[in-house]
Amino acid sequence: MASKIRNMEEFATVSGISRPTVSKYFNDPGSVRASTRARIELALERYDYRPNIYAMNQNRKLTKTIGVVVPLLSDPYFAEIARKLEQYCIAAGYRPTLFSSHGDPALEVEVLDTLRSLKPAGVLLAPLGRASDRNALKKFCDDVPTLIFDSSVDEIGLAFVGSDNFQFTSHITDYLCRTGEAPCFFEMKTPANPNAHRRRQSYLDAMARFGHKPDVISIEGEGWGFEEIGRLGGHEAFKKDRFSSNTILCSNDRLAIGLLTACYEQNIRVGRGDDCAIRVAGQDGHPHSRYTCPPLTTISHDYDSVSQTAVKTLFAAIEGQVSPWKSTRLEGRLILRDSA
């Protein structure tokens, strides 16, 4: 009974519908009459046929593929947001394909090239940032409907969706100031992306607002191994007695995780208790931050909103809605834990 169906022609025959109508169904099940749709779906259950993806996409101007590109998939933050982006894309009837630049600008360009040849309906791109090849990105955005997320590079693509880094740092600095010593700020001297610069500036602004003297500790280190950079930088800073406050706000959670390790190795007790020497806070709401020792106080991205907004904005643009370039920055939520 279930002799294998080889192509749409055969499937159309067994379902008693003409091939063009079947084709129409696969491109949009809602575009055929309900009774027709029912007959097709009945046949679909009986015969287990799937149209050939390659033949489909060859003639379509617009594929149903959505490219999702993140700078570093082994960072659980990106893994998490990528997962949510995937979900929303699937829910919207698209086929997400995941790529990682693995922290390498050359790979980022390669990924973009691969993506171009996939003729995706759209791309959700979190650029590497500072190291990105701006021209390559710009050219890519000209060819493919691209929404930038997480970290903005110029005013590129259809729009930008990310977090409000100013609010992030302002909010957590406020909290730290009101609950103890005003924090100093722990960051990488040459950070990977512009978010870090916004956070530093926001820290400086907030400190000025409260009338405190700011102190920025900028540590050495290149690449995406933030934990190790934070750990080594932490040791260095302790050695040179660079921390002018007992409270340290880190530019991001991964740096904070490394700093916590350094604190442990220096035998410095971190937390809010009387027996603790310093307080440490991060920023990002990294999936791992709950499980550090002590658990890390941080300000978290609104993962759901960021990813949902990103997907919605992209699809609005794809489906013909023209709107000027726009930047959406969502607020973060303070997560109070033991570290600060």
Partner DNA sequence: CCTGTTTCTTTACGCGCGTAAAATATTTGT
Partner DNA sequence: ACAAATATTTTACGCGCGTAAAGAAACAGG
With CB under 5 to 8 Å by kind, the binding choice for 330 among DNA, its own copies, none is none
- Residue 136 or residue 316: which is nearer to its own copies going by CB? 136
- Residue 200 or residue 286: which is nearer to its own copies going by CB? 286
Smallest distance, DNA to C-beta of residue 37, A: 7
- For its own copies, what does the binding mask look like between residues 220 and 249, x meaning CB under 8 A? -------xx--x------------------
Q: Which of 44, 47, 51, 272 touches DNA by CB under 7 A?
A: 51
Smallest distance, its own copies to C-beta of residue 86, A: 8
Q: Is 292 in the site for its own copies (CB under 8 A)?
A: yes
Contact residues for 107 (Cβ-Cβ < 8 A; gap 6+): 101
Q: Is 58 in the site for DNA (CB under 7 A)?
A: yes
Window of 3-11, 39-47, 282-290, 310-318 that interacts with its own copies by CB under 8 A: 282-290
Q: Is 114 in the site for DNA (CB under 7 A)?
A: no
Q: Is 104 in the site for its own copies (CB under 8 A)?
A: no
Smallest distance, DNA to C-beta of residue 69, A: 24
Strands 184-188 and 247-250: parallel
- Residue 17 or residue 147: which is nearer to DNA going by CB? 17
With CB under 5 to 8 Å by kind, the binding choice for 83 among DNA, its own copies, none is its own copies
Site for its own copies in 30-59 (CB under 8 A): 50, 52-58
Smallest distance, its own copies to C-beta of residue 316, A: 26
How far apart, in whole angstroms, are the C-alpha atoms of residue 237 and residue 224? 20
Q: Is 223 in the site for DNA (CB under 7 A)?
A: no
- Residue 57 or residue 167: which is nearer to DNA going by CB? 57
- Applying CB under 8 A, the residues found at the interface with its own copies are 50, 52-58, 73-76, 79-80, 82-83, 95, 97-100, 102, 113-114, 116-119, 227-228, 231, 257-258, 260-261, 263-264, 287-288, 290-295, 338
